Structure 1
Amino acid sequence: MRILVVYAHPHPQSFCHAALERVLAGLAIGGHEVDVLDLYAEGFNPVIDEAEWKVYMSEPARFADSMRRHVELLRQAEGLVFVYPTWLFSLPAMLKGWLDRVFVPSVSFSLPAQGESAPTSLLRHIRLVAAVTSTGTPWWLMAASGFPGKRLIRRAIRLGFSIRCENIWLCLHGMETNTHAQRARHLERVERRFARVR
């Protein structure tokens, strides 16, 4: 399977980066073809500016030249994996901005025709969506907040993928209070889970 991994953390020696390495190791065991977008390392701009906003509804899609590679990788992907820290109960602005700029008309969906009520997905070829994240927030507090990041990935964007899309969610809660052993077990779990992706 061709898998696009979208990584969003500013520090190359973070726990999140260690999780990325385990995702890649697991996918290598499975023999998958993997593309990685490291949003911070490439200086990705998550902001839709006025010029981009004015052509947002264009069909065919009109987007900045800097987005072409991202769009092509998404179009070619059969699997999509997000690796990021959970900040303030949800995705970092960098990753949310990536979704805003890539999941646009003519790329991820077609606008509804006159008289239709819903857009048509253009990403039905994606049969895996996964998220690997960590947070200092305890599980119970994330539950009270409604798991906004989890809902966005596992429900909202997943609606546009294959009807049989595999859905993986791996989150380590309580980062500030976890022991080294707990963190190590989580990383092992990440690698084992991605090694089983088919």
Structure 2
Amino acid sequence: MSHNGIDQNPRTALVVVAHHRSDSLTEHLAARTVTRLEADGYRVDLLDLRAEGFDPRMTEADEPDWGNREKTYSPEVHEHMERIFAAEVVIAVFPVYWASLPALLKGWIDRVWNYGFAYGRSKPRLAGKRMLWLGLAGMAAGDPLVDFLQQSLEGQLNLGIAYYCGFSHSAVGLLPDAEERRQRMDADGQLRIDAATAGVERVAQYADLERRADAFVTNFLAAEPVPV
């Protein structure tokens, strides 16, 4: 901290948002997350995969070469690697599709979190970094499948990705009730879609979603870095 109270070495964060619409709730919560981090003294790099035109499809240039972990990947992927490497904290904000990541975010991980960079070394280059996955789900909070979805995402994201890449801590913040028409499975396994919320009820629904998202970010930043 300098004599004038300005931190000359602020903490760094990368916020990655993956949605196909600029007016989505996902984009809104990503913006709130940026504001929250900046208020806590972080220097934030916002990576909007849609806005930046990122192509999630694997290319020959970015295909792993198992015989060469020093492979030079495409300039675009190299630039994204540098942005990850520069961040102490990485927060991904995304809609949950089919109990997993949307293609835009999954393809970013496929192409950028690549062999020789994110994994494949005895001392991981990403060791010590921390990861929060904020996933918006359309199912109702009371749906029994919420517990399954939480466990599924924790297995995929905390263990299958963050732990594998050497992160010191990874957490999943699942946000059900993200749709104005909540979805649920009934006792017969049939999908039921509620009537759309409106008026005061809708305002309250989204205010609660914002509160839960803010709480996930606050608790994540306050948590001691412990292995996943």
TM-score (norm 1): 0.83
Q: Distance in 1 between matches of 2:211 and 2:56?
A: 31
Please tell me whether residue 87 in structure 1 is matched to residue 97 in structure 2: yes
Superposition deviation, residue 145 in structure 1: 5.5
Across the aligned residues of Structure 1 and Structure 2, the Cα RMSD in angstroms comes to 2.3
Higher helix share: 1
Please tell me whether residue 161 in structure 1 is matched to residue 189 in structure 2: no
Superposition deviation, residue 16 in structure 1: 0.8
- 2:136 matched to which residue of 1? 134
Q: State whether residues 89 and 142 of structure 1, in contact with CA within 8 Å, keep that contact through their aligned partners in structure 2.
A: no
Superposition deviation, residue 57 in structure 1: 5.1
Structure with higher RCO (Cα < 8 A, 6+ apart): 1
Structure 1: tracts of 5 or more residues without a match: 112-118
Q: State whether residues 90 and 132 of structure 2, in contact with CA within 8 Å, keep that contact through their aligned partners in structure 1.
A: yes
- 1:143 matched to which residue of 2? 147
Superposition deviation, residue 137 in structure 1: 2.4
Superposition deviation, residue 125 in structure 1: 3.0
Superposition deviation, residue 103 in structure 1: 1.3
The verdict on how the C-alpha distance between 1:18 and 1:54 changes in structure 2, with shifts beyond 3 A counting, is: closer
Larger Rg belongs to: 2
Superposition deviation, residue 54 in structure 1: 6.2
The verdict on how the C-alpha distance between 1:76 and 1:61 changes in structure 2, with shifts beyond 3 A counting, is: farther
Please tell me whether residue 180 in structure 1 is matched to residue 203 in structure 2: yes
- 1:190 matched to which residue of 2? 213
Q: What aligned pairs does 1:9-48 form with structure 2 within 5 A after superposition? A: 9-48=19-58
Structure 2: tracts of 5 or more residues without a match: 1-10, 183-196, 223-228
Superposition deviation, residue 155 in structure 1: 2.1
Identical counterparts, % of pairs: 25
- 2:190 matched to which residue of 1? none
Superposition deviation, residue 34 in structure 1: 0.8
Alpha-carbon displacement from aligned partner over 1:81-131 (angstroms, at most 9, x marks no partner) = 0000011111001100111111112211235xxxxxxx54221131x2101
Give the counterpart letter for 2:154 in structure 1.
K
Q: Distance in 1 between matches of 2:112 and 2:14?
A: 13
